[in-house]
Structures are given as C-alpha cells and as structure tokens.
C-alpha cells in the first residue's frame, strides 16, 4: 500500500465501516457531461443499515455501483472524491483502503468477498444458462479455496503438483492439460471430493436463506424458481463469504408485498446474525423507514438530507423530503388530494449552480438560484442530522 493509504487509514472513524466523501461520477453524452452523482458524502456506521432513498435518476444506484467499481468507463467518468472502506478479517487485520484507488485485480479480490451486492431484478442478475449451484459455487471457488478443500477433506493432505492442479480446478482456471489430467486417477478422486465439497458449501449457503431442500434447488436453472426464491439465491450468493458491507440495490422492488416482507425479514435477520453493514437503496420510503437505522435522501445527484430514520420521518427539514413524505398515500390519510411535488426532475447535463430543487420548491428564497447549499448539521445538539438547504443556514 502506498503512503497515501496510511493517511486515509488514520482519518476513518473507529465506528465507521465506509465513508464516501465528495463523490462525483459523471457520464459523457452527446449533449454534454451528465452530473449523475455530484458531490455525495455520507458515512456508513459499522453494523448498521444505511438507507439511500431517492427518485429514479437521482444517482443512488450509480453511487452504489461505484463502491464496487462497476460503473462502466467510458461513458462513466470518475470526477472526484473517494470512498474509504475498512476491510476487516483479512490476513493482516483490519485495514482502511480507498475503493476508487484499487486496481482491477485488487477490487476483484474484494468483490463478493468483503463487499457484496444484491441487485434489483433477480431474473436478470442470475445467469439463465447456468444452474444455481454453478452460480453460487463461483463465490466459494473464487474466494474460499481453503474452505472448499476443508469440506472436501483434502486440507493439508495434498502437496506439490497435485495441490497445484486441484487449486487450479477450484479456481476454475484449469486449462486443457489440467482438465485432462483430472480425469485420470488418482486426481479424478480428488476432483469428485472437491465437487461434493463445493456442493455442501452451496447447500449450506442456500439453507441459510431458508430455501427449502437446497440440494434439489441447486440443480435447477433460474427460470424454474419463483421471484422470491431467485432473490433468496442472490442473497445466498451475496452473504456466502460473510462480507463486511452488503449493498442491496432495491432488492424487493420486483417482488410481491407478501414475498417482500419475507425477504426483508431475511435480510434483517442475516444482518443481525453476521453483524454485516448494509447500504440499502430504495425508492420506497415506508419500507426504508422500517428497516434502516440511518437514511440519506438523494435528489438530482446530491444528498439533501441525512440523519436517523426516526428523525428524518418525524422532523423532515428539507422541502424535498417533506414533499416526498406528503406525496405518499398513507392508510391514515383522508382520501382526496395528495400533496404532489409539482414539476419534474431537472436535467443533469452541466447543471447551473444553485439548489437543484429550486424549480419545484415551495419555500424558495431569492438567493436559492445562486448559492449552492452545503450539507450542514441542523443544530449544535444533533450533529448527525444534516440538511442541504439555505432555509436552515444562518
């Protein structure tokens, strides 16, 4: 690690697992640069569930994808900022790294191992041409070589060339020569043992997400499973390596309410059991309120308000947050008019300075169009509740 990283290590608070500072992700387009994520900063407290809420196109998914360097470049441009992440449980203890500084190989080691992701549509995120077993096994084969060997009963029993071959096989890097050799005894017996070891690991992982009879499900293809089951497989895949940070990108949007409740319970339970930190991305406020400890509200590429879930819902300060909460039809409301936020989300191509919400804001002031509001704590007492609005600036 370079000396730079040591500086960062000192600067990440003890109780945080990750911290995003002034993140800027732009996309090139014919009309100009699209400022999808424009100066986003937030912290994820270790072992907590952080909710990132916002409307379509506000940049919440891009933010999440930047964690794993999944934003395609070009057209994506990383225009600034950093994501500090405390990687625990690695050989030399816990260590703070900047996720955006890592090379392709380094981030590959983290993906699925320390940071895992659950995608929105399990129907699209799972490969339709591979069995569930193959897809879940990949995580173990990539990151948990020793576990596989242990399950196969081959740990510390192999040596030299045999070990090299077997490991190649586990890593799915076996070329023609190794594949052929693995068909001949005694290597073929090792291969069988490895296969059954992987099977057992996969079955255990599936079992953890409450999938009934995992050994059967394992041999199926994604289209043979229901939406809820597919999402469980995704979750099994994500938590297989017991990651430090789990990014859930609208994991229940494609599911029915009854199934959604089950999947949420599952995520919450697994989070508690493994003490995983979760970044939960959703557009559904009522859902986020239920499961998240802390919330950040995004609008047009910026965070407008952040704080404890209860504070945000009981005392929303930013006009956008207030509007969002009022726009939601609620079971206790009287029927009739909903308080809609009029207007549409502004274009994010080379945006003008000033508050992004100004065109839709009911409480705008004269200088709102000129001054870019900064995310600041609302009071001296509660430092965690921050708002980016001129109304609250002295």
Partner 1 sequence: MSNSKNTILSLRNVKKHFPIKEGVFQNVVGQVHAVDGVSFDIGAGETVGLVGESGCGKTTIGRCVSGLEPLTNGDIFFDLTPEKLLALEDFEKHQSEIKNKHLIDEIQSTSNISKIEGDDFYNYRRNCQMVFQDSFSSLSPRQLVSDIVSRPLKIHKVCADNELIPRTIELLEQVGLGKQHLYRFPHQFSGGQRQRISIARALALDPKLIVLDEPTSALDVSVQAQILNLLHDLQKQRGLSYLFITHNLSVIRHMADKIVVMYLGKVVEAGKTEDIFSNPQHPYTKALLAASPDLSEDVMSDMAALDGPIPDPARPPQGCSFRTRCPVSRTECGWEVDDIIRRLEHHETLIDSIKSVHQPDAFNAKLTFETSLSAIELKDVIGTNDIPKQMRKAIKKIEVDGNDVNISFDPVQTVPLVQSDNGSLSRCVLANK
Chain residues in the site for partner 1 (CB under 8 A): 55-56, 212-213, 215-216, 226, 228-229, 256-262, 264-265, 283-287, 289-290, 309-310, 313, 323-325, 327-333, 335-342, 344-345
- Closer to partner 1 by CB, 268 or 385: give it: 268
- Closer to partner 1 by CB, 50 or 139: give it: 50
110 CB burial (10 A radius; 0-12, 13-18, 19+): buried
Q: What are phi and psi of 304, to 5 degrees?
A: -100, -25
Instruction: In angstroms, give the least distance from the CB of 31 to partner 1.
Output: 13
- Closer to partner 1 by CB, 158 or 261: give it: 261
- Closer to partner 1 by CB, 165 or 320: give it: 320
**Nearest to 312, CA basis, from 335, 286, 330:** 286
Q: DSSP per residue over 286-305, as a string?
A: HHHHHH-SEEEEEETTEEEE
Measured in Å, how far apart are the chain's first and last C-alpha atoms?
A: 43
Instruction: In angstroms, give the least distance from the CB of 94 to partner 1.
Output: 32
- Closer to partner 1 by CB, 340 or 366: give it: 340
Element (H, E) at 37: strand 32-45
169 CB neighbour count, 10 Å cutoff:
21
Instruction: In angstroms, give the least distance from the CB of 177 to partner 1.
Output: 38
- Closer to partner 1 by CB, 247 or 264: give it: 264
Instruction: In angstroms, give the least distance from the CB of 186 to partner 1.
Output: 32
Instruction: In angstroms, give the least distance from the CB of 32 to partner 1.
Output: 18
The answer to whether 228 touches 255, Cβ cutoff 8 Å, is yes
Instruction: In angstroms, give the least distance from the CB of 356 to partner 1.
Output: 14
Instruction: In angstroms, give the least distance from the CB of 288 to partner 1.
Output: 9
Helix axis angle, 132-143 to 187-208, nearest 10°:
110
Q: What b/e readout covers 364-390, taking b as 16+ CB neighbours within 10 angstroms? A: beeebeeebbebeebeeeeeebbbbbb
- Closer to partner 1 by CB, 16 or 259: give it: 259
């Amino acid at each position: 690690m370079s000396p730079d990283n040591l500086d960062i290590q000192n600067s990440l608070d003890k109780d945080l697992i990750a911290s995003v500072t002034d993140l800027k992700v732009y996309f090139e387009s014919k009309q100009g640069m699209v400022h999808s994520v424009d100066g986003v900063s937030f912290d994820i407290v270790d072992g907590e569930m952080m909710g990132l809420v916002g409307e379509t196109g506000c940049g919440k998914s891009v933010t999440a994808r930047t964690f794993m360097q999944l934003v395609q470049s070009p057209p994506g441009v990383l225009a600034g900022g950093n994501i500090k992440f405390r990687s625990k449980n690695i050989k030399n203890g816990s260590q703070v790294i900047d996720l955006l500084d890592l090379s392709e190989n380094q981030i590959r080691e983290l993906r699925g191992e320390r940071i895992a992701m659950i995608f929105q549509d399990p129907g699209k995120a799972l490969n339709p041409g591979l069995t569930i077993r193959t897809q879940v096994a990949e995580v173990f084969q990539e990151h948990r070589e020793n576990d596989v060997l242990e399950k196969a009963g081959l740990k510390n029993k192999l040596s030299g060339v045999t070990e090299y071959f077997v490991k190649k096989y586990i890593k799915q890097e076996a070329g023609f020569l190794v594949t052929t050799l693995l068909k001949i005894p005694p290597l073929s017996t090792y291969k069988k043992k490895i296969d059954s070891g992987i099977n057992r690991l996969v079955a255990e992982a599936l079992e953890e997400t409450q999938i009934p009879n995992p050994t059967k499900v394992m041999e199926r293809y994604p289209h043979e499973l229901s939406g809820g089951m597919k999402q469980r497989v995704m979750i099994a895949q994500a938590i297989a390596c017991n990651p430090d940070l789990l990014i859930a990108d609208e994991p229940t949007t494609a599911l029915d309410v009854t199934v959604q409740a089950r999947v949420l319970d599952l995520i919450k339970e697994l989070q508690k059991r493994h003490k995983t930190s979760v970044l939960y991305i959703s557009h559904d406020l009522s859902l986020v309120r239920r499961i998240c400890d802390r919330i950040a509200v995004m609008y047009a590429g910026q965070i407008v308000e952040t704080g404890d879930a209860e504070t945000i819902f009981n005392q929303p300060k930013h006009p956008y947050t207030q509007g969002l909460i009022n726009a939601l039809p609620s079971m206790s409301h009287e029927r009739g008019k909903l308080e809609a936020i009029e207007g549409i989300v502004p274009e994010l191509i080379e945006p003008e300075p000033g508050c992004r919400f100004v065109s839709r804001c009911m409480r705008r002031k004269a200088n709102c169009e000129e001054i870019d509001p900064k995310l600041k704590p609302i009071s001296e007492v509660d430092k965690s509740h921050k708002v980016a609005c001129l109304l609250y600036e002295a």
